[in-house]
Structure 1
Amino acid sequence: MRAPITYSLTGDGPPVLLLHGLGGDRRQALGLLPGDVRATRIAPDMPGHGDTELTAEESLTFAEFAALVADLLDTLREEGKLPIKAMPVVGVSMGAGIAVALADDRPDLVERLILIRPSWLDRCPPPNLAPFPLIARLIDAFGPEAGSVAFRATPEYQSMNETAPAMADSLLGQFTRSHAAERSRVLADIPSSLPLPNRDAYHRLQVETLVVAAPDDPVHPEQLARTVSNWIPNARLVTVPRKMPDPTEHQLALQRVVAAGLAPPTPGGGRS
């Protein structure tokens, strides 16, 4: 039996769905949009993240996560909390993958996509996500605290700490997140799932798409984002500053891009 999905429904204005990354939660998703943008923000915690529990029999795949999101939106529509119309979907990393899977399975729900630093394409598991199953194995073997010490000693961590220290710190956060031991399976299983199976499936997407990339991010390779933007018809690619040396600059630039991507078209055909 599924655990109830926890979500935030805040603000007023046009609805927008915000989807967090692997090991994140709805607070991360809410941070993708500037506070001064008028919008009704729907931000769920996926199973094994935030306040949504993970049951032993739960399937951890992009298809299952997209179905959960669709069920949530359908319920909110039925309750009169959301209008019966498609909405923009903004997702970061794993959330970008869920957004793609949702657009493929339930195009009636998705008005446009904003895919931030996507990490999945058509390789399973993606080599750029190899640290996550490693972290899961170390947590299972040693527990979160000792597993963190063991991870720091691995070549994977040491190499990333030299080239992308902000991402190395983010990976260490997987050991200290809430219920890390009970939820380690998420880090092992999701990298072995794919949002869509191949290039042809991406090419069939008929939805306006903005892909956001950042350089020097080994977990979210810029080239992978470029490939996603090439595979989805008429997708646009925007690059924001890398996370280091100024994570604040990166986040503010990301929020500006998302806000611009949500703006309605101008009479001349562009975005305001």
Structure 2
Amino acid sequence: MRFLEFRARGATLRYDVTGQGAPVVLIHGLSGSRHWWRHNLPALSAAHRVYVLELAGYGQARRHRALGVRASAALIAAWLDHLDLRQVTLIGHSMGGHIALHVAAERPERVRHLVLACASGLLQGRLSRMALRLPRAALTGRLTFVPRILADAIRSGPRNLWRSSSDLLKDSVQDLLPNLTARTLVIWGARDALVPVALGRLLAAAIPGARYAEIPQAGHVVMVDAPERFNTLVLDFLREGEQVPA
């Protein structure tokens, strides 16, 4: 797959586009890539124009230095401006959800819907403690996806993973949440061993009007563990939003 590129301030964002309709932007999480959305892309692109991002330091952009969550958000915000995308739905997983929160705060006039899947925005603590959760987090999810997780982590490399992990644990979105204007859906895997369910409930409670959905038997990579349920929740949420004035 040949990705398109957007460059600004010395940083590069890679993306692919498929489908037609209102824009949906998919932002992967730590050590992720476009492959993490392969069970969701067909359903979403059947009704929407879907932009699949690969962040600097990950996937096809693995040779780049990873950016922090705020720098990544600023780059995505500039990309939205460059393409003049409006009425956007941001769907972010884990670190991608963390980044999406900052983008929604920076560009409220462009972001209409926000879907946060096991987002890391309220996650705090020591990096070593989070690292200890990773094996359990992998084993509580779909085991057939573990090779993809490992392959993408190896491609990203320890330096990029360390930079991103350290940065997201230092950054809190707490002060942003009360002022968000995007319609928000928070989706969590009930078996998430990396970002606890309690943080998902707190996140939803702190965002005005946010809806919360928990998927039993799903772990941290909720859109892979329960793709049909995830897709249904997202598409129903977006269809309902079409009835709400912008």
Q: TM-score, normalised by structure 2?
A: 0.79
Query: Which residues of 2 match residues 1-272 of structure 1 at below 5 A?
Result: 2=10, 4-29=12-37, 31-33=39-41, 34-35=43-44, 37-55=46-64, 58=65, 60-77=67-84, 82=85, 85-121=86-122, 123-125=124-126, 129-131=130-132, 157=135, 160=136, 164-166=139-141, 173-177=148-152, 180=155, 183-194=157-168, 197=172, 199-243=174-218, 250-265=226-241
Distance 1:220 1:70 in 2: 25
**Cα contact 2:57–2:66 (8 A) shared by 1:** no
Identity across the alignment (%): 26
Q: Compared with structure 1, are the counterparts of its residues 120 and 186 closer, same or farther at alpha carbon in structure 2 (3 Å cutoff)?
A: farther
Partner of 2:6: none
Q: Compared with structure 1, are the counterparts of its residues 105 and 127 closer, same or farther at alpha carbon in structure 2 (3 Å cutoff)?
A: farther
**Cα contact 2:34–2:52 (8 A) shared by 1:** yes
Distance 1:36 1:104 in 2: 25
Distance 2:143 2:177 in 1: 30
**Cα contact 1:25–1:49 (8 A) shared by 2:** yes
Partner of 2:4: none
Deviations 1:50-71 (A, max 9, x none): 111443xx46211011112122
Deviations 1:46-91 (A, max 9, x none): 0111111443xx46211011112122222223xxxx5xx2311111
Please state whether the residue corresponding to 1:206 is helix, strand or coil: coil
Distance 2:162 2:143 in 1: 18
* Counterpart residue identity of residue 116, structure 1: A
**Cα contact 1:18–1:30 (8 A) shared by 2:** no
Q: TM-score, normalised by structure 1?
A: 0.72
Distance 1:46 1:198 in 2: 20
* Counterpart residue identity of residue 26, structure 1: R
**Cα contact 1:89–1:110 (8 A) shared by 2:** yes
Shift, 1:168, TM fit: 7.6
Which structure's residues are more often strand, by fraction?
2
* Counterpart residue identity of residue 17, structure 1: V
Q: Compared with structure 1, are the counterparts of its residues 237 and 45 closer, same or farther at alpha carbon in structure 2 (3 Å cutoff)?
A: same
**Cα contact 2:57–2:160 (8 A) shared by 1:** yes
- The size of the alignment, in residue pairs, is 232
Please state whether the residue corresponding to 1:177 is helix, strand or coil: helix
Structure 1, unaligned runs of 5 or more: 133-155
Q: Compared with structure 1, are the counterparts of its residues 167 and 248 closer, same or farther at alpha carbon in structure 2 (3 Å cutoff)?
A: closer
**Cα contact 1:32–1:258 (8 A) shared by 2:** no
**Cα contact 2:102–2:173 (8 A) shared by 1:** no
Shift, 1:170, TM fit: 5.7
Partner of 1:152: none
TM-align CA RMSD: 3.2
* Counterpart residue identity of residue 115, structure 1: L
Shift, 1:236, TM fit: 0.9
**Cα contact 2:184–2:209 (8 A) shared by 1:** yes
Distance 1:202 1:128 in 2: 26
Larger Rg: 1
